[in-house]
Amino acid sequence: MKILNLDLGDKSYPIYIGQNLLLKGELLTKYITGKQVMIVTNTTVAPLYLKKVQNLLSSFEFAQVILPDGEKYKTLGTVNYIFSTLLEKRFDRSCTLIALGGGVVGDMTGFVAASYQRGVNFIQIPTTLLSQVDSSVGGKTGVNHMLGKNMIGAFHQPKCVLIDIDTLDTLDNQQYSSGMAEVIKYALLVEYLNFFNFLQENIKDLMNRKKSLIIKMIYQSCQHKINIVAQDELETGKRTLLNLGHTFGHAIENTLGYGTFLHGEAVSVGILMATKLSHLEGHLSSKQVAKIQDLLEKANLPISIIGKINASAFMKAMLVDKKVINGNIRLILLKRLGQAFICDNYNNHLLDQVVNEFCQ
């Protein structure tokens, strides 16, 4: 088992990464304060892992909420359903919530934990690659609004993150690829751990789910993430870099409707759009663009939305994003492979050109 620590002063917490962690009760229970525990999970994950985690919690007053599976249920309505259950079960401020599932379950459970009685404890047990490398770490919580993705939420850090990579055994290939998009994102952002080369060299074995490599990949992804979050918890600066590909990606998800593209699939296209714009802006070489595209393709990720969205709908959706400041769309671009930067003075014609190329 490997352990990382996200250093946020009195909100610091550990991230455990390894196999068989869902069999180790003490890892989980030492982060539970109070007597009441509720697991929030979904209909896909519950039959696989709910009983296993529940078995670790025999000494607590236990409750569970099983949600329908999918990004389209990440709404204020679902959050209110969880509030109702907490209140019906008389859960008080000393309770602990456990998010058992992917990013949707984690984001919603975290937001409920942030808002229930003005804040209770929660623990993340991510079961998808995407949530293990990205969304379970860093305290971003929230839900979607009909008019924009993740528009309602809070920063609320978990007490610990428990990443049992054995849960990936039951993850289908499309979901696994979706997680790979966020992994590849880290490799592009900063030069650290020689991560891009590691991914290039091992992409075949990683897609074949070689566990020793998966642990290394998740560990290094989380290292990338905590390095950035520790410097900028509330995303007033450097953390924005983690949104590489996301403003484009959110526009895809918003326009097509949640669920048509998985989050990571939309981010994959978004990364490539940011990459191409970076190239047109005179930063990345076309060779580097090709290398990035090649890696995304080898991870079985989509690289185009041609025929799916028209350019004007896409641009309109881009404008509803948390990176829009005073009407300007702030984008994350790449100076080169391994050096992302926040850009709000790109050439709008070049942005149009990229959007038209991808949306024709």
Which stretches of the chain bind a copy of itself, using CB under 8 A? 34-36, 76, 80, 83-84, 87-88, 90, 92-94, 114-119, 140, 142, 145-148, 151-155, 234-235, 319-320, 322, 324-327
- Is 90 an active-site residue? no
Q: What DSSP state is assigned to residue 50?
A: I
* Pair 159, 122: CB distance under 8 Å: yes
Beta bridge partners of 126: 101
Q: How many CB atoms lie within 10 A of CB 100?
A: 29
Q: Which is nearer to a copy of itself, 87 or 290 (CB)?
A: 87
Identify the residue whose tokens are 């403003």.
247
- Is 140 an active-site residue? yes
* Pair 131, 92: CB distance under 8 Å: no
How far is residue 285's CA from residue 29's CA, in Å, rounded to a whole number?
A: 50
- Minimum distance from residue 228 beta carbon to a copy of itself (Å): 16
Name the 3-class secondary structure at 57: coil
- Minimum distance from residue 97 beta carbon to a copy of itself (Å): 14
CA quadruple 19, 25, 30, 34: dihedral positive or negative? positive
- Would you say 57 is a known binding-site residue? no
- For 155, the token pair is 């920063």
- Would you say 172 is a known binding-site residue? no
Q: What DSSP state is assigned to residue 11?
A: G
- Would you say 167 is a known binding-site residue? yes
- Which member of 144, 150, 182, 330 is catalytic? 182
- Is 235 an active-site residue? yes
The secondary element (H helix, E strand) that includes residue 306 is: none
- Would you say 105 is a known binding-site residue? yes
- Would you say 182 is a known binding-site residue? yes
Q: Which is nearer to a copy of itself, 50 or 152 (CB)?
A: 152
Q: Which is nearer to a copy of itself, 286 or 326 (CB)?
A: 326
- Which member of 118, 204, 287, 349 is catalytic? 118
How far is residue 354's CA from residue 347's CA, in Å, rounded to a whole number?
A: 11
- Minimum distance from residue 153 beta carbon to a copy of itself (Å): 5
Nearest to 214 by CA among 228, 199, 226: 199
- Is 182 an active-site residue? yes
- Minimum distance from residue 351 beta carbon to a copy of itself (Å): 18
Q: How many CB atoms lie within 10 A of CB 87?
A: 11
- Which member of 239, 279, 322, 330 is catalytic? 239
- Which member of 156, 185, 224, 263 is catalytic? 263
How far is residue 77's CA from residue 83's CA, in Å, rounded to a whole number?
A: 10
Beta bridge partners of 341: 333
- Would you say 134 is a known binding-site residue? no
Identify the residue whose tokens are 């671009």.
333
Helices (H), 257-304: 263-280, 286-298
Identify the residue whose tokens are 């000393």.
94
- Would you say 164 is a known binding-site residue? no
- Minimum distance from residue 262 beta carbon to a copy of itself (Å): 23
- Minimum distance from residue 179 beta carbon to a copy of itself (Å): 23
Q: Which is nearer to a copy of itself, 62 or 198 (CB)?
A: 62
- Is 243 an active-site residue? yes
Nearest to 126 by CA among 150, 151, 106: 106
Q: Which is nearer to a copy of itself, 164 or 235 (CB)?
A: 235
- Would you say 127 is a known binding-site residue? yes
Q: Which is nearer to a copy of itself, 49 or 346 (CB)?
A: 346
Q: Which is nearer to a copy of itself, 240 or 268 (CB)?
A: 240
What does each C-alpha distance from 44 to 41, 47, 176, 181 come to in angstroms?
Answer: 8, 7, 15, 22
The secondary element (H helix, E strand) that includes residue 41 is: strand 36-42
- Is 330 an active-site residue? no
- Which member of 121, 140, 224, 322 is catalytic? 140
- Minimum distance from residue 126 beta carbon to a copy of itself (Å): 20
Annotated binding site: 69-74, 103-107, 127-128, 140, 149, 167-170, 182, 246, 263
Annotated binding site for NAD(+): 69-74, 103-107, 127-128, 140, 149, 167-170
User: Any idea which residues carry the catalytic annotation?
Assistant: 118, 140, 182, 225, 235, 239, 243, 246, 250, 263
Annotated binding site for Zn(2+): 182, 246, 263
